[in-house]
C-alpha cells in the first residue's frame, strides 16, 4: 500500500530518463573516441542520419509543446496533473522517450558514431524499466479508467500503423 501511495504522489524520486540518455550519449562519445567500431557508413546513410536527428528533435519538441499547452508537468519525477492523449501522445504513450531514442540513432548515423546505435536501445530499455513502468502505474492510480482506455489503444513506444 505504501508503494501505491508513493506512486500516486510521483512516479520516481530521480529523473531517470534524462540521466540515462545523457549517460548513454557520453558513453557513446567515449567509446567512439577510444574504441571506434571502424565501419564507414555510405554517404546516403550519413545524410539520412541528419533527417533522423531532425525527426527525433521534432518529436521531442512537439511532445513538450503539447504538454505545456495542456498545462501539465513535463518532469519525469513529478506528479502528472493531466492525462495528455492528443498530438504525439496519440501515436505513442512516451513520445519524448521515443524522440530521445530516435535522436541517439540519428547521431549514430549522421556522425558515423556506431556505438550510439546499441546504446540507444540500451537506454530505451533502462528507461522502460526504471521510469516508464512506474509512470504507467502512477497514471493508472491518478486517472483510472481514462488511463486504461488510453493505454489499451496507444502503444507504449509507437502505434503502428499511424
8-30 per-position pLDDT tens digit: 777 777 778 999 999 999 999 99
Query: Where exactly are the structural domains of the chain?
Result: 2-9+17-34+41-153
Query: Alpha carbon of 94 to those of 38, 80, 108, 121: distances in Å?
Result: 33, 13, 21, 15
Half-sphere exposure of 102 (CA within 13 A, CB side): 21
Instruction: Specify the pTM.
Output: 0.91
pLDDT in tens, 70-79: 999 888 888 8
Average pLDDT, the chain: 92
pLDDT tier, 4 (very low <50, low <70, confident <90, very high otherwise): low
pLDDT at 114 over 70: yes
pLDDT at 9: 76
Residue 3 has pLDDT above 70, yes or no: no
**pLDDT (tens digit, 9 = 90+) per residue, 83-105?**
999 999 999 999 999 999 999 99
Burial of 3 from C-beta contacts in 10 A (0-12 / 13-18 / 19+): exposed
Instruction: For residue 98, give the nearest of 154, 25, 26, 158 by alpha carbon.
Output: 158
* Confidence (pLDDT) at 1: 46
Total Cβ atoms within 10 A of residue 16: 20
Amino acid at each position: 500500500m505504501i508503494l501505491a501511495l508513493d506512486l500516486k504522489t510521483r512516479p520516481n524520486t530521480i529523473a531517470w530518463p534524462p540521466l540515462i540518455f545523457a549517460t548513454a550519449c557520453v558513453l557513446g562519445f567515449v567509446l567512439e573516441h577510444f574504441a571506434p567500431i571502424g565501419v564507414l557508413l555510405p554517404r546516403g546513410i550519413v545524410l539520412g542520419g541528419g533527417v533522423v536527428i531532425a525527426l527525433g528533435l521534432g518529436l521531442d519538441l512537439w511532445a513538450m509543446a503539447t504538454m505545456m499547452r495542456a498545462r501539465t508537468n513535463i518532469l519525469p519525477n513529478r506528479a502528472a496533473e493531466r492525462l495528455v492523449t492528443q498530438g504525439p501522445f496519440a501515436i505513442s504513450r512516451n513520445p519524448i522517450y521515443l524522440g530521445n531514442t530516435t535522436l541517439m540513432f540519428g547521431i549514430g548515423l549522421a556522425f558515423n558514431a556506431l556505438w550510439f546505435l546499441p546504446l540507444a536501445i540500451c537506454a530505451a530499455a533502462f528507461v522502460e524499466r526504471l521510469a516508464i513502468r512506474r509512470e504507467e502505474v502512477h497514471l493508472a492510480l491518478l486517472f483510472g479508467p481514462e488511463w486504461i482506455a488510453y493505454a489499451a489503444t496507444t502503444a507504449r513506444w509507437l502505434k503502428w500503423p499511424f
